[in-house]
Amino acid sequence: MSEIHRPRIGIIGTGAIGGFYGLMLARAGYDVHFLLRSEFAVVSERGLRVDSAVHGELLLNPVQAYREAAQMPPCDWLLVGAKTTSNADLAPLIAQAAAPDAKVVLLQNGLGVEEALRPLLPEGLHLIGGLCYICAHRRAPGEVVHQALGGVNLGYHSGPAIDAAERQAILESGCEMFRQAGLESTAMANLDQARWQKLVWNVPYNGLSVLLDAGTEALMGQADSRALIRSIMLEVVQGAEACGHAMPPGLADKLLVMTERMSDYLPSMYHDHLSRRPLELPAIYAAPLSAAEAKGQDMPCTRALYQALSFLSEGRV
C-alpha cells in the first residue's frame, strides 16, 4: 500500500500490446483499468495472462475490466494498444475515459498516426507517441505471449500550450512508469525521428512476413531475403535522413544482428493478414513513402513492397 501518488492508467485496446503493458504496470502497483470488448467475459472471469519468456508466467486477477469507456474512471494516462487502422473509431472512447489533462500514448507503429488522431481528440489532452520494441502476440482471449524485449520510447506530439521543459517532464513521468514496471523507456526529443527509427525494423519485416509467409528466422536464414531486408532498411534510413532525422550509425546492421538473435517471430502484420484483418499499410508504408517523396527521396523497394501488400489486402476494410 504505497502512499505515493500513482497515476491512474487506462488501457484502450487490450490485445497483445495493451494486455502486456497494462499487466506489467498493474503488477508494478499502478491503478490500471482495461477497456475490453470481445474478451471482456473471459478476462473478467479468468483474469489476464502473460506468458513471458522474460518475466515468467504472469496472471492479473481480478482485472479492472470495462465494456464501455464511459464506465471507466477518469484516467491520467491512456495507453492505446489497438491497431492504427481503428484509431478514428477509438477517439470518442479515449475522450470518455480521459481525465481533463490526460496523457494519451499511442503505442503504435508507423508515421503520422498522431496527426490523424489529433483533430478527433479534445484539445486539453496531451498526445504522445510510444514506440514499443517488443515481440509479443495474443495467443487466445486474455492470453498474451511475450517472446522478447519490451522497451518503450516516448515522444511528445501535441497538447495544451506548455513549454518544452513541461513537455519533457511529462515524457519523463511516462518513462518512469514503464521503468517502475521493469521496462526500458527513453524520452525521445523528436517523435517523428523515433517513429522513423522504429520503421527501419517494421517496414521490411512486417511486409515480408506477409508476402513470403515467413517469420524472422526463415527470413534471416536465407541470403536473398536477408539482402532484401537490408536494402529496405537502408531505404528507410535514407528516407528518415531526407526528412531531417539522423538515424544511429549502423542501425540497419544492428537491427539485423538483433533480429537474428531473437527466437523466431511473426510480426503483427502477419497475424493481421492471417486473420484477414486490415493491414496497417497507411501508417507503416504510405505515410513514410509520402514523407520521403515530398523530400525528393525515392524508396523503390519499399514502394514495391507496399504495392504488393496493397494488392494482397485489396477489398479488406
Which is nearer to a second copy, 185 or 313 (by Cβ)? Answer: 313
Rule CB under 8 A: which of 224-283 touch a second copy? 224-225, 227-228, 231-232
* Catalytic machinery residues: 198
Least distance CB 207 / a second copy (angstroms) = 10
Task: Look up residue 88 and give its amino acid.
Answer: A
Q: By CB under 8 A, is residue 73 in contact with a second copy?
A: no
Which is nearer to a second copy, 42 or 218 (by Cβ)? Answer: 218
Decide: helix, strand or coil at residue 190: coil
Of the candidate spans 52-60, 127-135, 222-230, 241-249, the one that interacts with a second copy by CB under 8 A turns out to be: 222-230
**Gap between the Cα atoms of 217 and 215, Å rounded:** 6
Q: By CB under 8 A, is residue 163 in contact with a second copy?
A: no
Please identify which residue in 102, 106, 107, 208 interacts with a second copy, judged by CB under 8 A: 208
Residues 6+ apart with CB under 8 A from 306: 207, 281, 285, 286, 289
Which is nearer to a second copy, 54 or 312 (by Cβ)? Answer: 312
Cell of 72: 471507466
For the chain, the maximum distance between any two Cα atoms, rounded to a whole number of angstroms, is 57
Place of cell 475490453: 36
Residues 6+ apart with CB under 8 A from 30: 6, 7, 8, 9, 177, 180, 181
Residues 6+ apart with CB under 8 A from 36: 14, 43, 65, 66, 67
Please identify which residue in 61, 222, 263, 290 interacts with a second copy, judged by CB under 8 A: 222
Q: By CB under 8 A, is residue 145 in contact with a second copy?
A: no
Please identify which residue in 23, 97, 219, 236 interacts with a second copy, judged by CB under 8 A: 219
Residues near a second copy, by CB under 8 A: 208, 211-212, 214, 218-219, 222, 224-225, 227-228, 231-232, 300-301, 303-308, 310-312, 314
